[in-house]
Structure 1
Amino acid sequence: MRNRMQDLDFEQTVAFDSVKDFEFTRKAAQKFRQIVSLDSFEDEDADVIFHYLYKEMELVSFGDYLKRYVYERAELEEPFSQVPQEVYKDIVVDSFKETYTPKSMSPTSAKLSSLVNNWLTQASVKRETVFLLGFGLRMSTEDVSDFLTRVLREQDFDFHNPEEVIYWYCYQNHLGYYKAEEYREIYKNLTPVEKKTGEIVYGTGLCLDSEEKLLEYLAYLKGRCDDPKSEKSQAFQEFMILLERAKKIIAAMYQEDEEENGGKKIWKPENINASDLEKVICSGIPINKMGNLKKMSASILAKHFSQKRFSRQRINNILNHKFPVERFDLITLEFFVISQEMEDDDPYTRYRHFLDEIQGILARCGMGEIYIVNPYECFILMCLLTDCPLAVFSEIWEKSYEEGEEKN
């Protein structure tokens, strides 16, 4: 496998010493290649991956990304790691004042300088903070999109959300926050318009290159019922497709066990429930006395994995439309499906197939492509390059709880 590492995606191979402090993606891609190319990776894969995640991987916060954005936009000359936070704070505060952008989209008594300091240090922020920064820092639509999908790891602009459509239009046309506020007020007074039969209102047919078209589209949004083509609905549909594939795999597993033990029960996909999915996919996570997965906080990799597990409660909440489908859910399900459907394939072939499929799924859901800097996504990719991806996946989860107990 080692001679094919140069073909892995993300970034072209470069010398480590030529990668700058603020080049998070290149640094992560280089480290990824280095780890999966180690001789010990094949024999001690779980130990090597766990050590990298816990001891070596750089956790890049929202504040780090914001600093990098300001650093590059302001064309600062001193080394990235040596720029004091005060410099970034002053640049952001000045920019907000120059663009007449408010310090918050909702009432607050906090000072702008305090809020900026928080943004520069926080691990993550709310979606509306990114939109506010978009106005305050004169971001392009591409910049805001990048923060939404790569930094927050959420979906891109939702073109079935009137506010996000307005924000997108304003960034695209270099309009300030108060113009967006004006459009929001206009939207409240628009007469709802129902979609005509066969009319294309989303996807490649959507063109908002004038204020007239913007207001027409907003009027349509005000009059529509839930649109099955919204990103959230698309994500739910993709989730259901993957869920059915996962259920078939688990039903086959159970059937094989049933026959080996001389049982006569016939297992079908419709017999598989959220508990079965949790039992198989989260087999490495210990159970408490109540039969639930132990708290995420007990895992030493809780921060790395954004406090998420594919638990039966999470699955049921998604199925009952209480939780939106997130990229974590799609990536986890796709990983499970590919790890089982292609368990006898060459690791590199399996890895490539996973990437091809998941990139398409994420693109259809407006969620942005796989991002190597995200610890969970890096973890999944490393597991796929081992001989037994699901076993390694489970072993690392198990180790994370064992190490967590020892630490406490």
Structure 2
Amino acid sequence: METFRSFDRALDTFIAEYGYNGDIGDIEEKTNFIKDKFKASEIPVPRSIRRWYTEHILIERKTAFQICFAFQLDIVQTEDFMRRICLMRSFDYHNMEEIVYCFSLKHKINYCMAQEIISSMNMVKPDKFQAEVPVYTKFLENDIENINSVDELVKYLNENAEIFEYNNATAYHIIQTVWNDIAKPEGLAIRERRKLYKAFDDEDNAGKKSRKRAEDSVWEICLQILGLSGSYADSYYKERSLKSILKDNDLLHPLAENCFPDRDGLNKVLTGRHVSYERVRKLLILLVFYKFWVIKALNKNDYYSEQDENDLERCKSMINEMLMDAGYPTLYPGNPYDFIFLASMNTLFPLLSFRDIMREIYGQKSCVTTGYEA
């Protein structure tokens, strides 16, 4: 856990890069420095700044953007701040408010003026994805890039309000496509189950009647991807959730546990319902990672990867390309969720290594000590 920075420690690095010369251990001095930046930019000062340090609380996206305005960051600096310090995506081009922030930071418009622009628009918030012909993030990004005045921006946003009734269109399309490859009849999951998958079974109760489970159900396939499909996880199959295993688990960082892929989130994405950015990003990483390595395993009839650097780079590139297409930050070793996958890729058995991590996390709460024997 100590390997990963909390937000306040990452913020220390940031303020040191942007003018703070005081004692990095002095909370009062750091808090006042940040407050002064907000006041100088005429931005309401967040009440919780001190708690960022004393209670290690996370900040909301709006507060993150306010920091970017307060420190007068440009677009590139903002994207770096969101990815490296906040572990968030940068701008959501299906969110009208965030488009205004993007435009304002690019054109050096201050926060107060940005708020005036927002108040002049007919704001639309994302809901269920229902567009017959979706407008994807890249197209919106290109449109915004070619707008050069506030009047043009307001006109464009008001005249195209229906585009902003949904978000994550690209990510949803990627996840739905990858899931179909995994879960369809004779898809990757069923082929792996019949050919290679070693069930997460309680050998001490081998004769015990196990719960009848549909091997092609959404939750059963989720458990299989995680390496938890088997008799050990019978109770979690019924609950349709792993929250009791993941929450406050000493082997899983809280930032990795937050929005960890689950049946509810996957079902909502598959049916076009709105979920948080973090849930979508983590689902995308998990499913693309699984698809890449299970295809390799099925082709070779073996999970062994020979630690091929080309495969490692191809897997990373595939995930990163899809993340970028969807407007999400690429894999980052400082993100504890991303680290699980990056570490697994750097082993001889990437998919089994990932599943061993999941089984160890399970065992931490369930007193089970079992893993794959490679």
- TM-score w.r.t. length of structure 1: 0.69
The corresponding residue for 2:39 is 97
Change in CA separation of 1:298 and 1:124 when aligned onto 2, cut-off 3 Å: closer
Shift of 1:201: 6.0
Higher mean C-alpha displacement, 356-365 vs 144-153: 144-153
Shift of 1:288: 6.1
Distance in 2 between residues matched to 1:381 and 1:257, nearest whole Å = 23
Shift of 1:93: 0.9
The corresponding residue for 1:162 is 96
Tell me the secondary structure at the aligned position of residue 330 of structure 2: coil
Distance in 1 between residues matched to 2:164 and 2:19, nearest whole Å = 44
Change in CA separation of 1:244 and 1:289 when aligned onto 2, cut-off 3 Å: closer
Kindly provide the CA deviation profile for residues 57-105 of structure 1, in whole angstroms up to 9, marking residues without a partner as x: 5221222222211111115277xxx54222211111111111111125x
Residues 203-218 of structure 1 correspond to what in structure 2 (within 5 A)? 203-206=141-144, 207-218=146-157
Contact 1:339 1:384 in 2 (8 A): no
Change in CA separation of 1:275 and 1:357 when aligned onto 2, cut-off 3 Å: same
Change in CA separation of 1:153 and 1:400 when aligned onto 2, cut-off 3 Å: same
Change in CA separation of 1:118 and 1:368 when aligned onto 2, cut-off 3 Å: same
Is residue 307 of structure 1 aligned with residue 274 of structure 2? Answer: no
The corresponding residue for 1:239 is 175
User: Of residues 217, 237, 250 in structure 1, which corresponds to 2:189?
Assistant: 250
The corresponding residue for 1:131 is 65
Distance in 2 between residues matched to 1:382 and 1:201, nearest whole Å = 34
Contact 2:37 2:71 in 1 (8 A): yes
The corresponding residue for 1:333 is 287
Shift of 1:313: 2.7
Shift of 1:162: 1.6
Residues 348-363 of structure 1 correspond to what in structure 2 (within 5 A)? 348-363=309-324
Tell me the secondary structure at the aligned position of residue 235 of structure 2: coil
Distance in 1 between residues matched to 2:69 and 2:360, nearest whole Å = 44
The corresponding residue for 1:27 is none
Contact 2:93 2:141 in 1 (8 A): no
Distance in 1 between residues matched to 2:27 and 2:250, nearest whole Å = 29
The corresponding residue for 2:127 is none
Identity of aligned residues (%): 18
Distance in 2 between residues matched to 1:211 and 1:137, nearest whole Å = 22
Shift of 1:224: 4.3
- TM-score w.r.t. length of structure 2: 0.75
Shift of 1:176: 2.1
Distance in 2 between residues matched to 1:378 and 1:257, nearest whole Å = 26
The number of aligned residues is: 317
Distance in 1 between residues matched to 2:355 and 2:312, nearest whole Å = 18
The corresponding residue for 1:49 is none
The corresponding residue for 1:395 is 356
Kindly provide the CA deviation profile for residues 311-367 of structure 1, in whole angstroms up to 9, marking residues without a partner as x: 323322322314245221111111111221123543223211111101110110111
Contact 2:347 2:353 in 1 (8 A): yes
Change in CA separation of 1:67 and 1:252 when aligned onto 2, cut-off 3 Å: same
Contact 2:7 2:85 in 1 (8 A): yes
Change in CA separation of 1:373 and 1:342 when aligned onto 2, cut-off 3 Å: same
Contact 1:153 1:367 in 2 (8 A): no
User: Could you say which structure has the greater relative contact order, defined with CA pairs below 8 angstroms and 6 or more residues apart?
Assistant: 1
Q: What is the one-letter code of the residue matched to 2:345?
A: L
Tell me the secondary structure at the aligned position of residue 250 of structure 2: coil
Change in CA separation of 1:288 and 1:61 when aligned onto 2, cut-off 3 Å: farther
Distance in 2 between residues matched to 1:224 and 1:388, nearest whole Å = 43
The corresponding residue for 1:119 is 52
User: Of residues 306, 326, 334 in structure 2, which corresponds to 1:346?
Assistant: 306
Contact 2:245 2:362 in 1 (8 A): no
Distance in 1 between residues matched to 2:67 and 2:196, nearest whole Å = 55
Kindly provide the CA deviation profile for residues 199-228 of structure 1, in whole angstroms up to 9, marking residues without a partner as x: x9623344122223222222233354747x
The corresponding residue for 2:226 is 282
Change in CA separation of 1:130 and 1:349 when aligned onto 2, cut-off 3 Å: same
Contact 1:155 1:368 in 2 (8 A): yes
Kindly provide the CA deviation profile for residues 167-192 of structure 1, in whole angstroms up to 9, marking residues without a partner as x: 11222222222211211222149xxx
Distance in 2 between residues matched to 1:210 and 1:83, nearest whole Å = 43
Q: What is the one-letter code of the residue matched to 1:332?
A: L
Q: What is the one-letter code of the residue matched to 2:140?
A: Y
User: Of residues 58, 67, 70 in structure 1, which corresponds to 2:3?
Assistant: 58
The corresponding residue for 2:269 is 318
Contact 1:162 1:221 in 2 (8 A): no
Distance in 2 between residues matched to 1:135 and 1:358, nearest whole Å = 31
